[in-house]
Amino acid sequence: MSQRRWFRWTLAFLGWTCVAFFFASQTYLSYKYSGGEAHWGIVLKINLCQWYAWGLLAPGIVWLARRFPLERGRWGRSIGVHLAAGVGVALVKWQLDNVLRHYVLGFERGTSLIFVFHQSLVTYWLLVGATQAYLYYRRYREGELRSAQLGAQLAQAQLQALRMQLHPHFLFNTLNAISTLVHKDPEAADRMIARLSELLRLTLENVGVQEVPLAKELEFLERYLEIERTRFADRLVVRMEIAPETLDARTPYLILQPLVENAIRHGIAARASAGRIVVSARRDDGMLVLEVGDDGPGMASGAAAKSGVGISSTRARLEKLYGSAQRFELRNSEHGGVVATLAFPFRVIADAASTNEERDAR
């Protein structure tokens, strides 16, 4: 017999014992304060025998309650079965009580059926009702669990759809740039194709992954920037300001690339002179704060052009992943250009943390 089954039987035994003590105390006090003669030991033995008898009958009653539940569409049959079973159990309980009174307690006379029949019926229906309540509760909990699982699956599907929106958008822009260079600068076009294949490899390695260490996100971003440097040559200057303690932080995969792409498109591509993009990461009050800024002309009022596929997908992904525990802001910088700031809870990838501990130990 498994340990769990032993625990359940022990719990049932203690439960019926407590019920016996409760009713024994009631009987004892009733006799004592009504002027009758009360013997606690005898009263307790009688109640223990009575309620342990119910403990023996209870598994069968619970089985009947499960087999014939009181639910819509089965009321007539179930009630009929339980009415008949209730009478049968009351008769069996009466006989069992008399056997226990005679062979365990040593009483010569048994109890008359009239004194215990109605109480037995009530107890039977209480057990049936308790079983039915438990069944309803378990179905409710199972329904909640299924709803939570379906909600999680839906959220995951929505997140994946948002992330996949970036792929055709990004590929279109990159292939368009390659087609522009293929006649003007074939070597640069070849380099862009090679970098693009590396980007696609990194993307395929993390299909279905929503969060990665910031270090891996920066690795993907660096591959993307190599393509953009091929396009813009000396016109594109990128500075990384990454706090070392943030490299293992959980970061939504492909969250920085659309922000950098947005900065290049609006801050660099539209002018002939060189431009600068700054990517920073820091930990601030339990949050990972990422910023992408450019030194371009900034946003005009309304700034509808700044909220393309990349920006809207980024905002939606953050809301899906972190709910209200995130922040996304796109604003003009005091020194010119636009700064995109996103913040979400700082959490370290477990595998990365253990790897760092092993590395430090060496």
Domain count, the chain: 2
Give the pLDDT score at 205.
72
Residue 151 lies inside a defined structural domain of this protein: no
Please check the confidence at residue 301 and state whether its pLDDT lies above 80. no
Per-residue pLDDT tens for 156-187? 555 554 455 445 666 777 788 788 778 888 88
Same domain, 10 and 139: yes
Domain range for 108: 3-146
148, two tokens: 């939570």
Average pLDDT, the chain: 81
In sequence order, what are the beta bridge partners of 103? Answer: none
Same domain, 34 and 83: yes
Residue 37 or residue 194, greater confidence:
194
Overall average pLDDT of the 354-358 stretch:
42
Per-residue pLDDT tens for 329-344? 999 988 888 999 999 9
Give the pLDDT score at 31.
78
Same domain, 134 and 190: no
Same domain, 191 and 79: no
331, two tokens: 């604003």
Q: For residue 194, name the pLDDT band (cuts at 50, 70, 90).
A: confident
Give the pLDDT score at 286.
94
Overall average pLDDT of the 59-88 stretch:
87
CB 65 within 8 A of CB 109: no
Whether this model's pTM surpasses 0.85: no
Same domain, 229 and 141: no
Q: For residue 247, name the pLDDT band (cuts at 50, 70, 90).
A: very high
Same domain, 212 and 262: yes
Q: Which of 90, 117, 146 is the last residue of a domain?
A: 146
Please check the confidence at residue 254 and state whether its pLDDT lies above 60. yes
Q: For residue 207, name the pLDDT band (cuts at 50, 70, 90).
A: low
Please check the confidence at residue 277 and state whether its pLDDT lies above 90. yes
Please check the confidence at residue 214 and state whether its pLDDT lies above 90. yes
Please check the confidence at residue 74 and state whether its pLDDT lies above 70. yes
**Whole-Å CA distances, 260 to 264, 279, 292, 332:** 6, 8, 6, 15
Same domain, 233 and 297: yes
The CATH code of the domain that includes 330 is 3.30.565.10
Give the pLDDT score at 168.
64
Q: Which of 118, 146, 174 is the last residue of a domain?
A: 146
